[in-house]
């Protein structure tokens, strides 16, 4: 069977599963032998359906295929035999013995005799090997663990345990694309054609006017491709993949995954499987270094020709086989108490009743509030300070229409219907109940300025949203005049008016899928419509449950669509929509019989739904229609409170009685807000001494942490674009309380570490001769270190769980293993005709640790981190790659800095350069993404910094690095960049200096300059929580700075980690990497090929103490750049 026919079977399997043809699905799995459904197999074993178990297995293997298969069938039949004996059904036991077990006598006659003798015992547990046999249920569970190990180790099941990574309803999507195509070829295409059959090709009937804007029968389709946009059918027919863009349905979502460990099998025997350890940790694979655990991608993806894609399903170092099969219920473990913000931690008094609220997308403790009298407020939730308060006022009454002027004279009362931030937090919009929309620009702190005032609708403006159609920021509004309008967010020019609703439009929900931008709208007659930015009318006409006030929202990852509505009778509904069908997928239960107002809802973490109802907040798991829990926030809530999560779901704002707002937090949210409390915060006195931080005009994030200046976001799940181009998930960063304040009666002294006894240091062993370490990074899981040596070879050290290291994380206390797969191959970069010692090496690690993208002057290689196999190579020089960074939201998009000064935005899946960015004059030396700002920051050997918009890849700003007066750069110096955890500031590293820049203005807000006579900086990096900066120098010194003010707090001299013979031989660190979860651990890559891990002594717990605050505030980041040294900042060399 050809590979495309095989893929068609997978599409049919997916379709059958989505349509709930369960028996047919498993029959096709068995008959085709393409996909072994482990979940189904487990269920059948637990149920004791032995005939079905063996029948299903028979589609994949026979008893005598190999030793793994033999042991699989033996364990099943032995269990069936023992269960018959346990029931004292001797006739059944004899039948099983003769029919099923006798086949094994030819392989082990003594074993068969011993099994036969069990018939003579009153209780087979009298046999010593079976003395621990429990009840049937536990015995099946124990056996199943062993069976799964055998199946995963059996080569006949290789590539059959992983279902392909497909978009939901992929077969339907292909059919819709085909219908698009057929409709495009119609001579007289009708608008909204009625497709009644798939048995013959579609053709439209007689001419009916205009060209159809929306072909095929899918309720919401992308815009038509241009004529000739469809390639001719190849030899493989319509299932041949092609990179040519085609129209796709917008309503698509991503599948879920399940995982199984991969473990080898052993000989068959009478006793129960020896798996006591597996029972304790059934998901933990063994640590035997001689076993090569294949990933689902290792063989299949390696053989597959591009176009190819990178998935997020395999995690290092837990060796698992990902199985993706939408429709099977493998829900994640749920821990409501930790995940839900339910602890009341702040009460804010707004002064009038809150109608709409929104947290800043990056500075997640900033809360916007709009009220029933038209007031707006901006709160810093951490300090409980109201930064901004504005009363409603028309900015330019003369520019308003006469109906608005007349309405305001008749009744000046105005309410805020919606207040919302723009995606990057630089603007916010306010929709009022009278005609008007006002857009403000936000410049940090309390700096809010008038930007645009738009007389948008006749009557009330009911909703407002921001969007990026055509790579341009727009404002979308809807109103009582039954229209939706799109405005340019820069100048207020009207771009589109959408007409078609027959009632006032209540809400809008802009979104995009497959690069197609669209808007959902709801009206007070219960109609839902969808619009593309083309003035060609609505693509959808549905009835929303409740048929009155309805709002819509996507999950954070954009894959699931929900709506919440309340009817005129007070009946409320939250539903999830099936995007491929345009129908309600599930309706959530738990609302009050009659709601006493319009219910508002919100989503968070791609996992939870929340709604304000019945004087409480109700929560649902997205995958379960039953109410998860509800909380009353210690009382005082209105009947239908208004709610809003911050971006990470750590805080929840809830409107309360008496014109107040309650802030609820989970554990991460509590930790986040503690950064605002007194510097001498004592965990045992959590309720005492709270002080307000000093605010300044640079940004609220800069003042968010009283100890760190740049806000701690330890509990936030944000990505840090690392110095080596990796994207880190910060969900597991160790919590840190605010730094202790210094007693001013004591004299602060720089911590000097001169001896090996003053810190913990470990040199990692290596078996091959390495000249020097060029690049270094921790894996995101924190239990391995990856190095790229100057000879183009990669080295991977893994820490294992042990009595001395229960977490299995990297540590200086336990030596790791230099890891290689059993094949013995090395990850070695292509070096072309270059000398790798002279090349500029670079690599980037995918966020799931499954892949590393790497280059050493030759072609770029993509390696599988489990097998070390080269999955693909691309982009042969010239130009050569000099820096690599994965896009934080899409592992298939890579930013590649080149030695010809360009940056190429490359899509691995389709093997295509999407954009080429030009702005530097010398090779690229650093790249870092900010997902919060949708920005890419680049740096080059030209000492220039550039900021690019990562949506349209336009250059937004550029600036030459401030080199101190009298100092010159070598011209080939690397300038590196790395984002702070707040995603709005970034660290710049140059041989002459360290600097902190604010991204949107590209302004230097803090700078530390090395003295001219001192050794240059070789590398530097933020600690994982962004509170420290670790910097290495060419004299082998390592300095630790407080990130808040770039002031030196600890100096680690080379004698503390290098032996005397080495420290006198000009060996020095070339690269430095920070542990992704432990803020006090870092690793050094040395010029002699060594790698050292350093930690403070357990008795100390940290690297020194912070220096005294400047002007009494440790958190101040100056509004003007501070260039040059400031006395005590400079290390004495």
pLDDT, tens digit, 9 for 90 and up, residues 693-738:
333 333 333 333 333 333 333 333 333 444 544 444 444 444 443 4
Kindly give the pairing relationship between strand 784-789 and strand 1069-1074.
Answer: unpaired
First to last CA, the chain: 71
Nearest to 899 by CA among 917, 880, 885: 880
Alpha-carbon span 621 to 696, nearest angstrom: 40
Q: Are strands 494-499 and 912-918 parallel, antiparallel or unpaired?
A: unpaired
Does an H or E element contain 1062, and which? helix 1060-1063
Sheet hosting strand 416-421, strand order edge to edge:
416-421, 427-432, 436-442, 448-455
Rg (CA), the chain: 32
- Can you state the angle between helices 136-153 and 38-47, rounded to 10 degrees? 150
∠ CA 79-85-91, nearest 5°, is 110
DSSP secondary structure code for residue 328 in this structure = S
- Token pair, residue 102, equals 């006798």
Whether omega before 659 lies within 30 degrees of 0, making that bond cis, reads: no
- Nearest CA to 962 out of 998, 994, 926, 937 is that of 994
- Quick one: which H or E segment has residue 4? helix 3-18
Q: How far apart are CA 927 and CA 903, in angstroms?
A: 9
What pLDDT, on a 0 to 100 scale, did the predictor assign at position 445?
Answer: 87
Residues (pLDDT < 50) of the chain are: 208-266, 274-337, 678-722, 724-745, 971, 1111-1133
Residues in the chain: 1133
Q: Calculate the alpha carbon distances from 410 to 414, 460, 967 in Å.
A: 12, 15, 68
Strand partners, 728: 720
Cβ proximity of 249 and 15 under 8 Å: no
Sequence-distant (6+) residues with CB within 8 A of 721 are: 727, 885, 888, 927, 928, 929, 930, 937, 977, 978, 979
How many CA within 13 A on the CB side of residue 235? 2
How far apart CA 1108 and CA 1090 sit, in angstroms, is: 36
At 914, which helix (H) or strand (E)? Answer: strand 912-918
Nearest Cα to 766, choosing from 1088, 318, 1095?
A: 1088
Work out the number of other CB atoms within 10 angstroms of the CB of residue 405.
15
Instruction: Output the CA angle 340-341-347, nearest 5 degrees.
Output: 165
pTM: 0.45
DSSP tally for the chain: helices H, then strands E? 15, 61
For residue 206, the model assigns a pLDDT of 56
Question: How far apart are the C-alpha atoms of 580 and 549, rounded to whole Å?
Answer: 24
Q: Residue 71, SS3?
A: helix
User: How far is 1071 from 1019, CA to CA, in rounded Å?
Assistant: 5
- How far is Cα 83 from Cα 141, in angstroms, rounded to an integer? 14
State the Cα–Cα distance between residues 113 and 127, nearest whole angstrom.
13
Which residues have C-beta within 8 Å of that of residue 687, sequence separation ≥ 6? none
Task: Give the neighbor-by-neighbor strand order of the sheet with 924-930.
Answer: 924-930, 935-940, 944-949, 955-960
* Spatial separation of the C-alpha atoms in residues 441 and 394, rounded to whole Å: 17
Query: Token digits for 662?
Result: 């309650």
Query: What whole-number distance in Å separates Cα of residue 602 and Cα of residue 741?
Result: 39
Q: Are 1115 and 678 in contact (CB under 8 A)?
A: no
pLDDT, tens digit, 9 for 90 and up, residues 490-510: 999 999 999 999 999 999 999
> What H or E segment, with its residue span, contains residue 1028?
strand 1028-1033
- Distance CA(777)–CA(721), nearest Å, equals 12
What gap in Å lies between CA 945 and CA 1002, rounded to an integer?
8
Looking at residue 35, its pLDDT comes to 93
Q: Tokens 């929306």 identify what position?
A: 214
Burial class of residue 165, CB neighbours in 10 A (0-12, 13-18, 19+): middle
Q: Hunting for tokens 């009022």 — which residue is that?
A: 432
DSSP assignment, residue 100? I
**C-beta of residue 667 within 8 angstroms of C-beta of residue 654:** no
Q: What tokens does 841 get?
A: 């090496």
């Amino acid at each position: 069977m050809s590979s495309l026919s095989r893929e068609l079977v997978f599409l049919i399997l997916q379709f059958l599963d989505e349509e709930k043809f369960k028996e047919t699905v498993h029959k096709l799995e068995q008959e085709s032998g393409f996909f072994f459904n482990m979940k189904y197999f487990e269920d059948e074993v637990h149920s004791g359906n032995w005939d079905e178990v063996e029948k299903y297995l028979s589609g994949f293997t026979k008893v005598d295929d190999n030793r793994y298969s033999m042991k699989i069938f033996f364990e099943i039949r032995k269990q069936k035999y023992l269960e018959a004996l346990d029931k004292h059904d001797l006739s059944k036991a004899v039948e099983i013995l003769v029919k099923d077990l006798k086949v094994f006598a030819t392989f082990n006659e003594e074993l068969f005799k011993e099994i036969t003798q069990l018939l003579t015992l009153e209780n087979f547990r009298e046999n010593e090997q079976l003395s621990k046999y429990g009840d049937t249920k536990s015995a099946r569970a124990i056996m199943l663990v062993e069976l799964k190990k055998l199946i995963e180790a059996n080569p006949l099941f290789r590539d059959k345990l992983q279902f392909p990574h497909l978009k939901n309803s992929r077969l339907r999507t292909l059919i819709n694309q085909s219908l698009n195509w057929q409709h495009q070829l119609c001579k007289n295409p009708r608008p909204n054609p009625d497709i009644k059959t798939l048995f013959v090709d579609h053709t439209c009937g007689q001419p009916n006017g205009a060209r159809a804007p929306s072909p095929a029968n899918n309720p919401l389709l992308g815009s038509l491709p241009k004529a000739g946009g469809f390639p001719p059918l190849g030899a493989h027919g319509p299932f041949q993949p092609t990179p040519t863009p085609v129209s796709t349905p917008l309503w698509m979502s991503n599948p879920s995954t399940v995982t199984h460990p991969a473990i080898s099998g052993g000989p068959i025997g009478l006793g129960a499987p020896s798996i006591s350890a597996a029972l304790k940790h059934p998901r933990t694979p063994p640590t035997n270094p001689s076993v090569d655990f294949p990933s689902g991608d290792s063989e299949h993806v390696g053989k597959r020709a591009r176009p190819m894609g990178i998935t997020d399903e395999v995690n290092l170092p837990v060796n698992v086989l990902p199985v993706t099969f939408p429709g099977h219920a493998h829900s994640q473990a749920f821990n409501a108490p930790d995940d839900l913000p339910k602890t009341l931690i702040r009460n804010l008094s707004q002064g009038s009743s809150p109608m709409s609220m929104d947290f800043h997308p990056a500075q997640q403790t900033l809360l916007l509030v709009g009220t029933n009298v038209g007031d707006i407020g901006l709160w810093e939730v951490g300090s409980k300070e109201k930064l901004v308060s504005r009363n409603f006022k028309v900015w330019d009454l003369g520019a308003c229409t006469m109906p608005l002027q007349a309405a305001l004279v008749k009744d000046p009362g105005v309410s805020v219907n919606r207040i919302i931030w723009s995606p990057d937090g630089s603007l916010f919009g306010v929709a009022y109940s009278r005609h008007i929309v006002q857009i403000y620009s936000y410049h940090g702190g309390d700096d809010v300025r008038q930007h645009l005032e738009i007389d948008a609708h006749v009557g009330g403006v009911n909703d407002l949203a921001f969007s990026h159609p055509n790579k341009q920021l727009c404002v979308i509004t809807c109103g009582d005049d039954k229209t939706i309008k799109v405005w340019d967010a820069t100048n207020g020019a009207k771009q589109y008016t959408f007409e078609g609703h027959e009632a006032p439009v209540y809400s809008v929900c802009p979104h995009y899928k497959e690069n197609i931008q669209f808007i959902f709208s709801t009206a007070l007659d219960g109609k839902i419509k969808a619009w593309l930015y083309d003035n060609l009318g609505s693509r959808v006409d549905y009835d929303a449950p409740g048929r009155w006030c309805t709002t819509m929202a996507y999950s954070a990852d954009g894959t699931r669509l929900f709506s919440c509505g309340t009817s005129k009778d007070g009946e409320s509904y939250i539903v999830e929509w099936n995007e491929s069908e345009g129908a309600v997928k599930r309706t959530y239960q738990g609302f009050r019989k009659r709601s006493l107002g319009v219910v508002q809802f919100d989503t968070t973490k791609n996992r939870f739904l929340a709604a304000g109802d019945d004087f409480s907040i109700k929560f649902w798991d997205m995958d379960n229609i039953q109410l998860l829990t509800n909380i009353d926030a210690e009382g005082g809530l209105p009947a239908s409170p208004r709610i809003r999560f911050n971006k990470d779901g750590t805080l929840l704002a809830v409107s309360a009685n008496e014109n107040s707002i309650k802030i609820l937090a989970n554990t991460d949210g509590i930790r986040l807000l503690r950064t605002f409390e007194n510097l001498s915060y004592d965990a045992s006195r959590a309720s005492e001494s709270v002080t307000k931080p000093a605010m300044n005009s640079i940004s609220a994030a800069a003042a968010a942490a009283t100890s760190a200046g740049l806000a701690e976001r330890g509990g936030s799940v944000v990505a840090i674009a690392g110095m080596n181009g990796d994207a880190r998930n910060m969900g597991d960063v160790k919590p840190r309380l605010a730094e202790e304040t210094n007693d001013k009666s004591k004299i602060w002294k720089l911590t000097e570490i001169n001896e090996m006894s003053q810190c913990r240091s470990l040199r990692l062993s290596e078996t091959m001769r390495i000249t020097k370490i060029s690049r270094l990074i921790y894996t995101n899981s924190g239990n391995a270190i990856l190095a790229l040596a100057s000879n183009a070879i990669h080295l991977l050290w893994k820490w294992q769980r042990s009595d001395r290291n229960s977490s299995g994380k990297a540590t200086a206390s336990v030596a790791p293993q230099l890891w290689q797969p059993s094949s013995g191959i090395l990850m070695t970069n292509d070096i072309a005709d270059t000398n790798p010692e002279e090349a500029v090496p670079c690599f980037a690690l995918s966020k799931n640790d499954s892949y590393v993208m790497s280059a050493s002057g030759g072609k770029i290689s993509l390696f599988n981190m489990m097998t070390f196999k080269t999955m693909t190579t691309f982009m042969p020089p010239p130009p050569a790659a000099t820096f690599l960074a994965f896009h934080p939201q899409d592992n298939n998009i890579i930013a590649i800095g080149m030695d010809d000064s360009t940056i190429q935005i490359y899509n691995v899946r389709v093997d295509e350069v999407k954009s080429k960015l030009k702005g530097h004059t010398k090779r690229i030396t650093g790249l870092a993404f900010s997902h919060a700002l949708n920005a890419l920051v680049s740096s080059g050997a030209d000492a220039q910094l550039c900021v690019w918009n990562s949506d349209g890849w336009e250059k937004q700003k550029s600036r030459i690095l401030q080199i101190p007066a009298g100092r010159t750069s070598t011209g080939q110096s690397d300038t590196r960049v790395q984002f702070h955890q707040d995603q709005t500031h970034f660290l710049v590293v140059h041989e002459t200096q360290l600097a902190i820049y604010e991204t949107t203005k590209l302004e230097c807000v803090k700078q530390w300059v090395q003295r001219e006579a001192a050794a240059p900086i070789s590398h530097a990096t933020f600690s994982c929580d962004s509170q420290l900066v670790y910097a290495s120098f060419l004299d082998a010194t390592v300095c630790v700075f407080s990130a808040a003010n770039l002031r030196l707090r600890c100096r680690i001299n080379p004698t503390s980690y290098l032996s005397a013979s080495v420290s006198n031989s000009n060996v020095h660190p070339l690269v430095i990497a920070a542990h992704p979860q432990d803020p006090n651990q870092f690793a050094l890559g040395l010029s002699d090929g060594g790698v050292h891990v350093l930690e403070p002594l357990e008795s100390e717990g940290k690297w020194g103490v912070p220096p005294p605050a400047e002007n009494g505030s440790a958190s101040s980041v100056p509004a003007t750049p501070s260039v040059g040294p400031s006395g005590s900042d400079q290390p004495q060399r």
